[in-house]
Each structure stands twice: as structure tokens, then as C-alpha cells.
Chains A and B, each alone.
Chain A
């Protein structure tokens, strides 16, 4: 049972490049989330999806877009990466508790 799977685990980008973080869960959960974690800042909600076909902004959505492709998959896209987006990104799904992926460590130079 894989739970929540994120790819890639590590990525280095140059300013202005684009990329997509992929997330998939195999627990049949409706709600999925993207968080970023920076030192001393805790986990901040970027976007969430209450169910397939719906997405909503969280606390820090600027510079990001999301797609809820189906019930299993929820992707996060950076259209034009900036150094301020250097962070660890966590995907999660909710089934009575939040289940997190292992994180994607993104560095923007």
C-alpha cells in the first residue's frame, strides 16, 4: 500500500523555468492538498481540492497552478519559477487524518 506518492523527490530549476510536481494517492480519498514548508514557517497551504473536479486557493497560491486530474492525482505547476519558491513541497490526502507524501525538495537558482 503506497499511500501518497510524490515525484520528483529532488529538483533544481533556473529562474523562469517551469515544472510540474506530481502527486497520487491510492486510498480513494476525496480531499487532496499541496503545502510548502520553509524553515521556521511551518506548513503553508498552497491549494487544495475537496473532490475531483474542484480546486481552491489556500494561504499562498501566487505563482502556482493545480490540476485535479482524477480522484487519485493532484498536480502542482510552477509556470515561471522564482528563487522564493525554493522550498520543500508536500502533497497530502485526507481520510480522517492527513496522509503526507515524502516531500519534493525544490531549489530555484
Chain B
């Protein structure tokens, strides 16, 4: 089976940095993705890590350690529009994707 754990809620101040962690247990692993979802909307892709290390895309970075079954999403220079839910997702065998329960990020002024 698949199991992904994330914190349920995080609050951070505008302009600050926040890290959202994800630990996973899976029978097959080909990579870890991160998606953002604003209330009532469709999830949208943020980043993907297929190998260990850090991937950077603008204000967002994502890290993966396959030996620790652990990854995180780092959001820098937080903006109010970053208030949303963030999901990690494991890419498994056969191109299946399994999602965590999500982290609700609230950015406060």
C-alpha cells in the first residue's frame, strides 16, 4: 500500500520562508511531486524530484532523500496568494500517482 504523511496546517508570515515536509511509504517509487490547490480549484503542478537533491523553480524549491523516504517543499518570499493547500504525491509503478492528505498553508500579513 501507499502512505504519505504531511502536516495538516502551517501558518507563516508574508515575506518569510516555510517548509512543508512529506514522508512516504510505498511499494514502488519513481519520484515525488508537489501540487498546489486553491480553494475550490484544480490542483496545479509545482515541482518533481526523481533523484535525490534539491530542485529549484523560482520561489519554490523541493528536496528529496530516497534513503529517508522524505521530501519537502520550500516556499520563499511568501506572498498572500501562496495561501493554499499543498500536496505531495508519489509516482509509483505503472505511472500511478498517490497523494498525501495535504497541508493547508495560511500566509498572514
Residues of B within 8 A of A (CB): 2, 4, 8, 33, 35, 41-45, 48, 87, 89, 94-102
Contact = CB atoms under 8 A, between A and B. Distances in A.
A85 B109 CA distance: 38
A43 B96 contact: no
Contacts of B33: 97-98
B94 to A, nearest CB: 6
A42 interface: yes
Contact of B97 (A40, A56, A98, A102): A98
Interface of A: 31, 33, 35, 40-45, 48, 50, 56, 58-59, 90, 92, 94, 97-103
Given A42-B100, A42-B101, A94 B87 contact: no
A31 B102 CA distance: 23
A45 B95 CA distance: 12
A73 B100 CA distance: 26
Given A43-B89, A45-B99, 20 more contacts: A35-B99, A40-B101, A42-B4, A42-B87, A42-B99, A42-B100, A42-B101, A43-B43, A44-B99, A45-B97, A45-B98, A48-B95, A90-B43, A92-B97, A97-B33, A97-B45, A98-B89, A100-B44, A101-B42, A102-B41
Contacts, number: 54
A33 B97 contact: yes
B100 A50 contact: no
Contacts of B102: 42
A102 B89 CA distance: 19
- The 10 A-B pairs at the shortest CB distance, nearest first, are namely A97-B45, A42-B101, A100-B42, A43-B99, A42-B99, A31-B95, A42-B102, A100-B43, A102-B42, A42-B100
28 contacts: A31-B95, A42-B4, A42-B87, A42-B100, A43-B89, A44-B99, A45-B96, A45-B98, A45-B99, A48-B94, A48-B95, A48-B96, A50-B94, A50-B95, A56-B94, A56-B96, A58-B96, A90-B42, A94-B95, A97-B48, A98-B43, A98-B97, A100-B42, A100-B43, A101-B42, A102-B41, A103-B41, A103-B42
